[in-house]
Structure 1
Amino acid sequence: MTDGTATPVNPYLVLGAAVVLPASGHVMLGVPVRGLQFLFFMVILGWVTTKLAPADAGFIGRHAGGFLIYALSVLDAYRIARIRHAIWVHKARPAGDSAGGDAPSNI
């Protein structure tokens, strides 16, 4: 685009990175502190649920708090990426182009 706005990161790339490595999606988006906060609470709640879970619980059950924050982190990184991409697409559209068909006709 010629307006000088940088192209945002592809939301699916951010989603893939966030699924593979926690907080990496936030780092790709330029908000590493937010990713670090998610990692901190992931570890803390994972530890808390290991102490509160019954002895016969499986791995997922013993670390359910950490997995909950992990899932929220993935969703948050993807949401931020989608919003940034949608804003970029909206700004890149020419002024007279409207998706709703409201453009004045030249009759």
Structure 2
Amino acid sequence: MTTAEKSLRPPLHPLLVLVIAMFLPGVGQVINNTPTRGLMMLFFMLMLGVVTFNLAAPGVSIVGKFAGGLFIYALSVMDAYYWAKYRWEKFRRSV
């Protein structure tokens, strides 16, 4: 497949990227051709999850214990969708 043929291939639909990002953290960024960003998101999810788990009081719910990781997870899902939508619109306008 030549470079011209690759550039004409449309990116994945943003809603599909959103669903993938929701179930597989960090993979949405990989699909958007930014694997380093996906790895960083996954790293920070794990690190902030561990930090908030260790700093949370004993009576805090499980959501509260992993609040830092869940916050980064939510940011990564929104980020994956945003960039997928950007790539989708850019491709749509260029064709």
- TM-score scaled by structure 1? 0.79
Pairwise CA distance, 1:5: 2.4
Could you tell me how far apart the structure 1 residues matched to 2:8 and 2:62 are?
45
Do structure 1's residue 82 and structure 2's residue 85 form an aligned pair? yes
Task: Report what 1:38 is aligned to.
Answer: 41
Task: Report what 2:73 is aligned to.
Answer: 70
Pairwise CA distance, 1:6: 2.1
Letter in 2 for 1:31: T
Q: Which has the larger radius of gyration?
A: 1
- Sequence identity, in percent? 43
Q: CA RMSD in A?
A: 1.3
CA deviations on 1:6-28 (whole Å, 9 max, x unpaired) are 21111011000000110111121
Secondary structure of 1:50's aligned partner: helix
1:1-107 matched pairs, under 5 angstroms: 5-92=8-95
* Structure 2 unaligned residues grouped into runs of 5+: none
- TM-score scaled by structure 2? 0.89
Could you tell me how far apart the structure 1 residues matched to 2:54 and 2:22 are?
26
* Structure 1 unaligned residues grouped into runs of 5+: 93-107
CA deviations on 1:45-93 (whole Å, 9 max, x unpaired) are 111101211110011000000000000000000000000001111112x
The structure that is helix-richer by fraction is: 2
Could you tell me how far apart the structure 2 residues matched to 1:85 and 1:55 are?
45
Letter in 2 for 1:89: R
Could you tell me how far apart the structure 1 residues matched to 2:45 and 2:16 are?
22
TM superposition outliers: structure 1 runs of 4+ over 2 Å: none
